[in-house]
Amino acid sequence: MFTNNKYLSKEKLNKWAVYAIVIAIFWMKMYFIQGSIFTLGVENANEAAILAFNPLSSIFLLFGLGILLAGRKGLLVTYIIGSILLYVNVLFYREYNDFITVPMLGQVANLAGLGGSITNILSLADIFLFVDVFAAVFLLFYLKSSRFPRFMPKRREGAIMAAIAIPLFLVNLAWAETERTDLLERAFDRNMLVKYIGVINYHVYDIVLQGQTEMKKTFADSNELVPALNYLNEKKTEPNSEMTGVAEGKNVILLSLESTQTFVVDNELNGEELTPYFNDLKEEGAYFSNFYHQVKQGRTSDSEFILDNSLYGLNRGAAFFTHSGNEYEATPEILGENGYFTSNMHANDKSFWNRDVMYDSLGYDEFYGKQDYNVTEEKSYGWGYLDEYFFEESLGKMEEMEQPFYNKMITLTNHHPFTLPDDKKYIDEGETNSGTLNRFFQTIRYQDEALKQFVEEFKQSDLYDDTILVIYGDHDGISENHQEAMGEYLDKDINDYEQFQLQRVPLLMIGEGIEPQESDTVGGQIDLRPTLMNMLGVEDDNPIQFGHDLFSEDRREMMITRDGDFANEDYVGVKDTCYDRETGEEVDSKACEPLFAEAEEELQMSDSIVYGDLLRYLDETELIEEEESDQDEE
């Protein structure tokens, strides 16, 4: 009997040894990925220690639940699920320098369209990220000897492990808050959350946030719209009266240039201009050199959402997917009520980014997608239909449109991984340490040549005199993962300030009544709607707009990014650090504290409108305000 108890004791000891080894292997993988693949900005020894500690609570929770639900098989399944989750984040991070969110999971259909972009971010070395899975299989199912009897975990042991995860996480959180107080309130900063609580714990927290988000719309009421109306009324600035109606009755062509950043304008590679045509074209209209993109995970769809609504995109996922069923009073709907035919042109599948659904919600009359173009293998490369052919066909379609029209064109070719057929390479590759940046120079040069073809043909068409052309970049193409290469090319150190400035995208407006000029006013995509509406002389009754006329001399120069950073006429605020906007020198953080607070308040206001679908109450809220006003007069 004594011998049997001794044997059981040894068996139990060996069993927990297997647990310890499996946990240690997964912990080492998580630590390697978080510390070496993700760029989390560890700044001191305390943060390094937190980063090393934070995987433990999530591992205990994950494995504990697996054992609790299905014993040994459950442990292996959760090990594999955890490995896949880590790897998906690795791929996503390589592409977007960000982490997957629950709303993004609803966009898996987009993966079918990524093509070469996916293969470009895969690496043969990635197979080593799964070697540990085979080790886990061996330990759990095939390791058997007199020293290690068959491994058979018990459900109660899973419950114990899951329970241990709770105090481990509380210790982790308390430790993390010695570096960053109110950490969980900073849901917009996913890099920070992963650095302090780990990638798997971040996903658990993200699920909690998603549940809260779903509840916001269910329990929203009209009273929640009042603070936003008051806030926007307080921030309101008058548009430039001299620009009011200068384009009245004109057509509008919005040309969204894929992944185009301002740093390429007036810049060269090996003595050759990157955008020679655009450099000349910008002298013919109003060019804005301090204009920023404001997108997040929704990328191009975010830029569309911001443009048409003058609302901020979401911090998690894309409104085109998560809130396509909301009620909006968007630009195409308002212009449609004023006699405009409204349309979109994008030679990709209509369902990509849920555009076919969202465009209906925004009030577009027509969407010209891939099936409406003569897309052939000979005319396609990389992401699809080459820009030159897209431009040619699109101009023909516009010439047949009912006028006046409002039409948005979205290009494709200058898209990661930035590849071209040899006969379309009008410039040599770059010579930095980043193949992505080196190829980007070639696709941006090709795009400029295709733009030249389009604009010159447009000038010869009957549309030219009756149309304003707006050309803008949708988002960055070169992420901060390529800072070293950007530093090589620009011959400067790319710190947080410089990286922020690289988020500028070109904006050019050409048409009758628009005087050639270069403006250095600080603005963003959220300002496009009020600017266009004022130029068209259209009465825009929707008071829920966060943008300001870019031509107004009295405008509030405050551009806010989805991360809560900002730029105004004096300062740039990035990650709680304050910089002089002109020099880039760091200044006293107190100068930016109220501006960071303002940025956070504005983003929360916009989010409350989108998450709560509050525009459905707009007429009702306005009616209440009018009734209150009438009562006051009596």
Catalytic residue (choose from 300, 436, 521, 561): 300
Q: Which amino acid is at 285?
A: G
Contacts of 521 (CB under 8 A, 6+ apart): 288, 290, 550, 555, 557, 569
**Is 244 designated active site?**
no
Q: Would you say 266 and 283 are in contact if contact means Cβ atoms under 8 Å apart?
A: no
Contacts of 588 (CB under 8 A, 6+ apart): 578
Of 463, 464, 494, the residue nearest 480 (C-alpha): 494
Sheet order of strands, 571-574 included = 558-560, 566-568, 571-574, 577-580
Only one residue has tokens 């006051």, namely: 632
Q: In terms of C-beta density within 10 A (0-12 exposed, 13-18 middle, 19 or more buried), how is residue 511 classed? A: buried
Q: Helix (H, G, I), strand (E, B), or coil: what is residue 510?
A: strand
DSSP state for residue 325 in the 8-state scheme: T
Contacts of 333 (CB under 8 A, 6+ apart): 362, 363
Q: What is the distance of C-alpha 266 from the center of its chain?
A: 27
Of 475, 481, 433, 437, the residue nearest 41 (C-alpha): 481
Express the helix, strand and coil content of the chain in percent, nearest 5 each.
Answer: 55, 10, 35
Indicate which residues carry an active-site annotation. Answer: 300
